[in-house]
Structure 1
């Protein structure tokens, strides 16, 4: 089943909110419960600050808590030794009737009732005598709720495990003389406390429902706005797949989706330009192939009909046209290697200026035949570059042929090679007519021709300079076209010297 991206993002955002709120609820419930228990203990500790003060005064007057311990041993049931948990129901038979005074001050005796286990309900009333003194005998009555330890943490009075009590220090004259233990509430059994926690959970639940509802609406709204650029991109992609490059996508956001839309527009434009170049290239290649083939066919038919004699002149014409076809096919083959980045190189230490000089000598006689003079200013030093001799010679031959092909005769072709600032600069310049300045940046694009008709007449395929650029860049160099000082075009190649290239 196909699920739209909108619903996926919306569900993910909403799920994250629900999980977060659920974790918050569990955290609030859990820590709220225990924090409230701690709050009850701390509140009782605060309430019993008077008792620690009274115990400190008692210790100062008597020097110990021994009297309290002896009183406890005398009055506590035999079944409840110090530090042990009390018996449950059925232990009343072991109790003496004077063990549980309900109101020690008035001397009346009554058994403990359930309400007396409500911690500290009658503590201050029973612990203090009428004149505000500490009534040590009352400790027996509250032995389940408070525990008294001496300075060595030995139990003076109290029933239960020490881990069930929270202890606070008893101070006398700046020294700790004992510890007063207050029993921790085992569970939240008090109706008021339980009601408090229940109300807090209900409030949190209602708040969570409201938050989820508001978050859902906001998530829906912002998700739709976030994904607003996506539908136009889908439509544009379908048009692009059908080779319709006239797609238009307006800027809808200033984020990654906006960048995606901008890059998509650029891709559509580049594909459109590429298709135009490809169509022009097919037209140019068709023309380049048609011209020599037509010449070959015409001459061969003329020889077959006896109109033209088979001699050296007619064979030379056929040879020129075949050579032109071979050159074009070779350039097409090299262009495919450039596209696939599979052109082979054999790098070594080479003298770049000597390679340029060899290429000049190869074309000097041919240039003179067409009315051109080749002038050179080649550095005679031993400057070397890391390069492929065959490929560098191919670059210089292409540039010299390009200058001969596109310059008016008579003319001059000037070639220089010199070292400067750790690199080698090679230039090839002609006397014109040159190239319009607006076309200089596109000369190295494959299939580009500044003057289409003249290029066809002179046999250019529009691939030579693109191949030259690829070879130079593989040598970590740069190649550029500028307007020359002699009125024509100057091609500049800069390659790093061998020491710099390493």
Structure 2
């Protein structure tokens, strides 16, 4: 299992971590903003007084007048302390002038001994007024110096301290969560991304280290590794197929070229004895190309099938008649045994005839002279099973899993005239499965090799 480049993993890990921290930072900012907005709304609703509009000084003076009925002794409020540490919520008497309903000065910047007390008030340009109202009646007005900062700014400034503390705590919490998620989520995800990049660049051996946690990321790693294994296997099969095709083409082309060059050079006379072998090689080439075309179409699900209800035993009997002469030449008996009253199966007669023909042809190639090839047909619940068995040497157990692979031969050195191109069983599997059937291969206990085909009975699922 190849390890993905460590530098790539570290780079991806850093990018994912920064993305995560930015996301958490945005959440923190929105949370703090939400807290400030909610705080202002709650204060306004719960007190019935908007802190951005009504000053604490106005509220205190209105309360005093409501309790005393006049401004007599109002200087007493100057000595009272407001129980708050927020500057914007404390009264600022040094910046305030109180006048009564008739416009006379009652308090002048926190003093009752000012020469202006009792005189008519004339506001300055830098002072803003706020009426004092009790039960809808005007009881006076306060004039406040504007100062250097608006009240909204002062209110926000007073909340900066608590908000800064909350932000720092949330930032620390974000960092802790980011570090925990780095081990839990970012590290495995960065390995998957790095491995995907390696595969996209042609390194099909790249694998992801699967962590022990039973979670979605572990499942993602397992699925990725499975995908990479399948891609590597497919690439290996593609390379082997190209090599096998080149090998299969090389021999007939070499024979053709040798024969034709010999005839042109006068080495061989241009008679039937020397032209016939060259023509035979063209037939082999034609069959190889046709088998490859058929296999490619079957694997791409582009073959057209004309499914019909057929009696399997009748179809097999027809095929046996086509191979009787070939079997007679090798002194091999073709034996068919079928159950009575077998139901029909849904199959393409032409394609299935090709499948059975390939199986009988293989059996005749490898069964010894004077022996037999056995074909049996019987019913198994909702399927019909066809078995083609020979009395040949069989196949090594460790190679049985490869018998349906393209260009596979039990003996690599077997001549083409004896072993074929190794496409027959591969084509048979594709054609059987495309018709809803199943095919398998086994060695017989009594010796020999057998292939079993199961087709669903017409109208029933196999």
Q: For 1:347-375, what per-residue CA distance to the aligned partner results, in whole angstroms no more than 9, with x for missing partners?
A: 22222222222222211211221232211
Match of 2:375, SS state, is: strand
Equivalent residue, structure 2, for 1:412: 372
> What is the distance in 1 between the residues matched to 2:284 and 2:313?
29
1:77 aligns to what? none
Secondary structure of 2:459's counterpart equals helix
C-alpha distance in 1 between matches for 2:135 and 2:197 = 80
- SS of the aligned residue for 2:385 comes to strand
State the 1:395 CA deviation.
Answer: 0.9
- Which secondary structure does the structure 1 equivalent of 2:314 belong to? helix
1:249 partnered with 2:193: no
| Contact 2:338–2:376 under 8 Å retained in 1 | yes
The answer on 1:224 being equivalent to 2:182 is yes
Corresponding residue for residue 376 of structure 1: 336
Seen in structure 2, the aligned counterparts of structure 1 residues 24 and 445 have a Cα distance that, compared at 3 Å, is farther
| Correspondence for 2:321 among 361, 381, 391 | 361
2:306–2:347: 8 Å Cα contact kept in structure 1? yes
Give RMSD over aligned pairs.
3.8
User: TM-score w.r.t. structure 2 length?
Assistant: 0.66
Point out where structure 1 has 5 or more consecutive residues left out of the alignment: 38-88, 90-99, 103-110, 117-158, 162-196
Runs of 4+ in 1 over 6 A off after TM superposition: 200-204
Aligned to 1:271: 231
Offset of 1:298 from its aligned partner?
A: 3.2
Q: Which whole-Å CA distance do the structure 2 matches of 1:461 and 1:376 have between them?
A: 27
CA deviations on 1:434-470 (whole Å, 9 max, x unpaired) are 1122222232233333332237562432322222222
- Between Structure 1 and Structure 2, how many residues are aligned? 356
Matched, 1:208 2:166: yes
Q: Does the CA-based 8 Å contact 2:342-2:379 persist in structure 1?
A: no
- Following TM superposition, by how much is the alpha carbon of 1:339 offset from its aligned partner in structure 2, in angstroms? 3.4
SS at match of 1:342: coil
Verify: 1:7 aligned to 2:18, yes or no: yes
Contact residue 353 and residue 418 of structure 1 kept, 8 A: no
Q: TM-score, normalised by structure 1?
A: 0.61
Gaps of 5+ in 2: 1-11, 49-61, 74-133, 137-154
For residues 207 and 350 of structure 2, the distance between their equivalents in structure 1, rounded to whole angstroms, comes to: 47
- Seen in structure 2, the aligned counterparts of structure 1 residues 227 and 386 have a Cα distance that, compared at 3 Å, is same
Deviation at 1:213, TM superposition (A): 1.4
Query: Match for 2:245 among 271, 280, 285?
Result: 285
- By how many angstroms is 1:482 displaced? 1.5
SS in 1 for 2:305: coil
Aligned to 2:430: 470
Within the candidate set 1, 5, 27, 1:16 is matched to 27
**SS of alignment partner, residue 414 of structure 2:** helix
Determine if contact 2:259/2:278 at 8 Å carries over to the other structure. yes
Aligned match for 2:301, one of 336, 341, 348: 341
Deviation at 1:415, TM superposition (A): 0.9
